[in-house]
Chains A and B, each alone.
Chain A
């Protein structure tokens, strides 16, 4: 075997591609990595409920499980797919079946071999019914052609980018058949100490404090991981995380680990770097949603007028300290494949908004045009401030606003179960692939009462549904991109809900940590390539 595997080559080129964009950590891709050491990492949230939550469970279990469980492929920071457990994935001519060639010599942490049977089990017992849900509706069957080849069969054509996105996405983790078969996957106790094929093995989880991983000495990629030990530790308080960085007790923190005003102070000495790459496949936005069950918001002009009443640059600058951008359209601007600027824009213009509302039949009567209830979901601290700002902005139009910022459970119930709001402020994180993570907010089949982070506005438009339906089966990539742009244009004009700002999450990292942030969803990457220049 040659000294450099194909994977090493890809990683190095990814690093080089990164380096052209910026100086600093990415240059490290060209240095000789050093083996050994302990890396202590954290993220801007709390401890997970369980180290691995099979149906998803949010960012925290995603962060902890992906160091142990791997996927077939992954998406790099320049949005190219790269092999992990699969060396090749090929569609048939009609795009109704895909042949997956698996990597040889991969073993689970308990010594069993990883084979095609595992992938078949995952496709039919885990991905389709539990993790991927609607994304794999068309999946009909999976079979092992030989121990290293799997064929997935679909009842309709499935676009290549779409399938690969599912496999490289949050729902594509590969779990061991010999452990999960015959059990309830969701409540299997092994989820608190998962067994996978990944570069790190769970050593110990001390609840309330940290999880410790040790290097997998039998990892399929010889030489990796570079680290001997990885520790993910949780602090509940952002200021304490900043203190831990300064005291040298924390090396890397993803997804806004420290208070925004502290970022400049910490990075000014050169000892720490603020990195914004590595989030494009999990693009966070803050949205505003107009409940279509209310007569007022059935009028498109009203929705458009309210969009114009909000100064989104102000939100980005003041609430997020510049770590956000006003959104353009329904697709996040970090999505370099499907994003387009060619959509209706809603510049901040109170006068115009007033005129539209007057014309739409809502003049000021007795000091107020109408009354609305505004629910700002209290799961992010910023939403408190955004709620207060939007209330003021609407009041400037002489609209009476009743603002509520309920806690997480209550927000979920009011917005997604009871539809008990007129205007809601919420968040979502979309993948690069728009179906279903972005489209389900607009399509009719996205309306599922009680299911969160979907179409809660009740908006239904056959024309839009048709575009999305076409996109679902369109296998020609340029045509598919064109359809996505049609979708974006229509959704933006209709504005049942729209992103107000695209968030720009930051990873804070010590400058001697190398090879980080090179994939499209770095937090959910295995971190095998990270190394310490100490």
Chain B
């Protein structure tokens, strides 16, 4: 087990280096630069001022020097300074990270709960009206654009019924102790987490259904039934546990993308997450910020991969033998 963890962590260094170099090159290949965007917004035309800013932003140096400097500072665990936000990159990311993590974890939980339940139900009642309804819903939630779903949910639940707030993460100015605050955040979380979660749930439901049907055909299930186990026990303890592996794989992939957030859902619900930050940073060619998010993201992917590997071991002891 330790070997797996160590092996995964050893992969982090080349991964982060590759992420930095690749994205640095990509963002420099895109036309326009942070300098162009900043000076345009600030309406600066004085040549002396332009030179001063070029120096401040460090764009007066050759690209490879900029890259080397960036890698060196990341090695010292410094993600650099964002002149656009006029703050250190890490501070800006940390400001928006909690909201992103809460939203993505909540959405993933919704997805797992709804998706796995629906998948199990569909496979147990295969080819009945239940199965068809679940498949239909899965196709619908997968195909419906999440911004549309988000807006429709807002119109129904926030505008017409008034059950939930229209957006944001907290009631502004409300501070009634940690418990009330947590409830407040949860109240704001319901709509965005559901809108995003249902999209993921659609995939989980389809994968779970297929995987369950596959396992149902295996010999040990017949044995379990022949032993006289109750149908519920057969489904939950024997079939479901074995059918969960592909779900865990999917989950691992999805956990890796958590840091990216969801630009669309964040936009619709004005959720203060990383997705919008990353999007704005790409649009303004703010490469320290883009690289900062991606470096942290690649660390998270590595950790998520290691966790998934460990989960595999727990779910299917046969993997250890290999």
Contact = CB atoms under 8 A, between A and B. Distances in A.
Interface of A: 38, 40, 46, 49-50, 53, 55-58, 129-130, 133-134, 184, 186-187, 189, 191-192, 206-210, 212, 229, 231, 233-237, 239-240, 243-244, 246-247, 249-250, 406-414, 416-417, 440, 448, 450-454
Interface in B256-295: 266-273, 276-277, 280, 283-285
Nearest to B274: A208
Contacts of B151: 237, 239-240, 243
A212 B43 contact: no
Contact of B30 (A58, A210, A410): A410
Contacts of A57: 41-42
A512 to B, nearest CB: 19
A243 B40 contact: no
A187 B30 contact: no
Given A53-B41, A134-B46, A208-B96, A240 B167 contact: yes
Nearest to A58: B41
A49 B85 contact: yes
B297 interface: no
Nearest to A234: B270
A406 B45 contact: no
Interface in B112-153: 147, 151
A208 B41 contact: no
Nearest to B99: A208
B96 A207 contact: yes
B46 A133 contact: yes
Contacts of A189: 86-87
Nearest to B263: A236
A467 B84 CA distance: 38
A55 B42 contact: yes
Contacts of A56: 41-43
Given A240-B267, A243-B155, A451-B44, A409 B86 contact: no
A236 B276 contact: yes
Nearest to A437: B43
B92 A207 contact: yes
A370 to B, nearest CB: 25
Contacts of B311: none
Nearest to B44: A55
B170, B266, B283 interface centre (most CB from chain A within 10 Å): B283
Contacts of B32: 407-413
A134 B45 contact: yes
B56 interface: yes
Given A53-B42, A240-B151, A209 B169 contact: yes
A514 to B, nearest CB: 22
The A interface is mostly helix, strand or loop, or mixed, namely mixed
Contact of B43 (A229, A239, A452): A452
Given A55-B42, A409-B285, 14 more contacts: A49-B284, A187-B56, A192-B86, A207-B92, A208-B95, A208-B266, A237-B267, A237-B268, A249-B167, A250-B166, A409-B36, A412-B32, A416-B40, A454-B45
A173 to B, nearest CB: 13
Contacts of B96: 207-208
Contacts of A452: 36, 39-40, 43
Contact of B270 (A129, A130, A209, A409): A209
26 contacts: A38-B173, A49-B86, A50-B85, A53-B86, A55-B42, A56-B41, A57-B41, A129-B46, A187-B83, A189-B87, A207-B96, A208-B270, A208-B273, A209-B170, A236-B266, A236-B268, A240-B167, A240-B268, A240-B270, A247-B162, A408-B283, A409-B33, A409-B37, A409-B283, A410-B30, A450-B36
B165 interface: yes
Contacts of A38: 172-173
Q: Give the 9 A-B residue pairs with the shortest CB-CB distance, closest first.
A: A208-B272, A409-B32, A452-B40, A55-B42, A451-B45, A236-B267, A209-B272, A413-B32, A410-B31
Contact of A408 (B87, B271, B284): B284
B87 A244 contact: no
A40 B166 contact: no
A189, A191, A410, A452 interface centre (most CB from chain B within 10 Å): A452
Contacts of B284: 49, 408-409
Contacts of A49: 84-86, 284
A130, A236, A406, A448 interface centre (most CB from chain B within 10 Å): A236
B178 to A, nearest CB: 17
A235 B270 contact: yes
Nearest to B88: A189
Contacts of A410: 30-32
Given A50-B86, A410-B32, A231 B172 contact: yes
Given A233-B172, A240-B269, A409-B285, A247 B56 contact: no
B253 interface: no
A409 B84 contact: no
Given A240-B154, A249-B165, A417 B159 contact: no
A229 B172 CA distance: 11
B234 to A, nearest CB: 47
Nearest to A440: B45
Nearest to A235: B270
B215 interface: no
A452 B147 CA distance: 33
A220 B96 CA distance: 36
Contacts of A206: 95, 169-170, 272
A211 B95 CA distance: 14
